[in-house]
Amino acid sequence: MGHSAAVWDYRAAHELTTDWNGNPLVVLRNPQGASARISLHGGQVMSWKNQHGEELLFTSSKAIFKPPKAMRGGIPICFPQFGNCGLLEQHGFARNKVWTIDEIPPPLPPNDSNGKSFVDLILKPSSEELKFWPHSFEYRLRASLGSNGQLSLISRIRNVNGKPFTFSFAYHTYMSVSDISEVRVEGLETLDYLDNLFQRERYTEQGDALTFESEVDRVYLSCPNPVAVIDHGKKRTFVIRKDGLPDVVVWNPWDKKSKAIVDLGDEEYKHMLCVDGAVVENPITLKPGEEWMGRLEILVVASSFCSDHLDLQKVRF
């Protein structure tokens, strides 16, 4: 793009536009040519491209971009409930609501702003949500793109209510992969997980790395940083770091489940993998006036950058 980082105006590097369906969309760009698109519908990241213009997130060819449902792909936000075991709709309402741009957000540390193009969004409950979930909150989301192409999402949820409330949460991240049979996930070894395919029974991961031969729908508990999704086909690795998000959800619907999902093509499970930074096992309780923060950072590096025994510690965010 011909801009040097020194003269790059990061504030001006976010642009408000609309998708083909008329939904407002914010586009972030970095000086090297990477970009991210964040919809005000759901505060959902719809696209994240590297400096070569390659898409890093999966979007279904059958995705429905029409509110009120979340688009199948990108990064839908699951709040105030992950899954369908509460009183609310599956994965909560945040992904189906219209967010607004937060013009004067409370400050974040300089590291979360300097050298990044970013946008701040806010969601407050409407009288409709309050009927089903009677808790006043302010949910602030910062989405940013670093000069190295890193995507960061910072959620700050504040209780502005008179009573405590409890929530679970996930950044439901659909990664685009060459072929699911060419992918392995590292960083989950020896961890306990809840298996959604077996009534959330608890197991311990025995393998050195997680590979995929059938449907997987698990919540790995208390995962340390980083977690890596290694795509041998594309020779690239997603390195995931998180803060305030102890659990990691791993989901691939495989062939049978895919056929039952209307907005997912029958064969598309081969090209997606959800790996979510999440809070599932121990939901968060906020007292009046308290705030919770959950941060997700994803960087994509060439797999050759890491050796066979992936030295992820040397990956700089």
- By the 10 Å C-beta count (0-12 exposed, 13-18 middle, 19+ buried), 281 is classed as middle
Secondary structure (3-state) at 230? strand
Site string for ligand TA6, 53-92 (x = CB under 6 A): ------------------------------x------xx-
What is the C-alpha to C-alpha distance for residues 188 and 209, in angstroms, rounded to an integer? 7
Token pair, residue 100, equals: 């607004």
CA geometry: angle at 295 spanning 268 and 36, to 5°?
50
81 is in an annotated binding site: no
CA geometry: angle at 253 spanning 236 and 39, to 5°?
65
DSSP β-ladder status, 247-252 and 165-171? unpaired
* Least distance between ligand TA6 and beta carbon 83 (Å): 5
Residue sitting closest to ligand TA6 (CB): 251
Which of 111, 119, 137, 170 minimizes the C-alpha distance to 13? 119
Interaction of residue 171 with ligand TA6, rule CB under 6 A: no
* Least distance between ligand TA6 and beta carbon 274 (Å): 6
* Least distance between ligand TA6 and beta carbon 95 (Å): 8
**Of residues 26 and 272, the one with the C-beta less far from ligand TA6:** 272
Q: Are 267 and 234 in contact (CB under 8 A)?
A: no
**Of residues 83 and 149, the one with the C-beta less far from ligand TA6:** 83
**Of residues 120 and 129, the one with the C-beta less far from ligand TA6:** 129
Interaction of residue 50 with ligand TA6, rule CB under 6 A: no
Which of 132, 124, 129 minimizes the C-alpha distance to 158? 124
Which residues ranging from 224 to 253 are in contact with ligand TA6 (CB under 6 A)?
249, 251
200 is in an annotated binding site: no
Q: Are 33 and 53 in contact (CB under 8 A)?
A: yes
**Of residues 269 and 292, the one with the C-beta less far from ligand TA6:** 269
**Of residues 186 and 217, the one with the C-beta less far from ligand TA6:** 217
Secondary structure (3-state) at 144? strand
Secondary structure (3-state) at 219? strand
What is the C-alpha to C-alpha distance for residues 301 and 306, in angstroms, rounded to an integer? 8
95 is in an annotated binding site: yes
Interaction of residue 217 with ligand TA6, rule CB under 6 A: yes
Interaction of residue 277 with ligand TA6, rule CB under 6 A: no
Q: Binding ligand TA6 by CB under 6 A: which of 196, 265, 303, 305?
A: 196
Enumerate the known binding-site residues: 72, 90, 95
What are the residues binding ligand TA6 (CB under 6 A)? 83, 90-91, 196, 217, 249, 251
Enumerate the known binding-site residues for substrate: 72, 90, 95
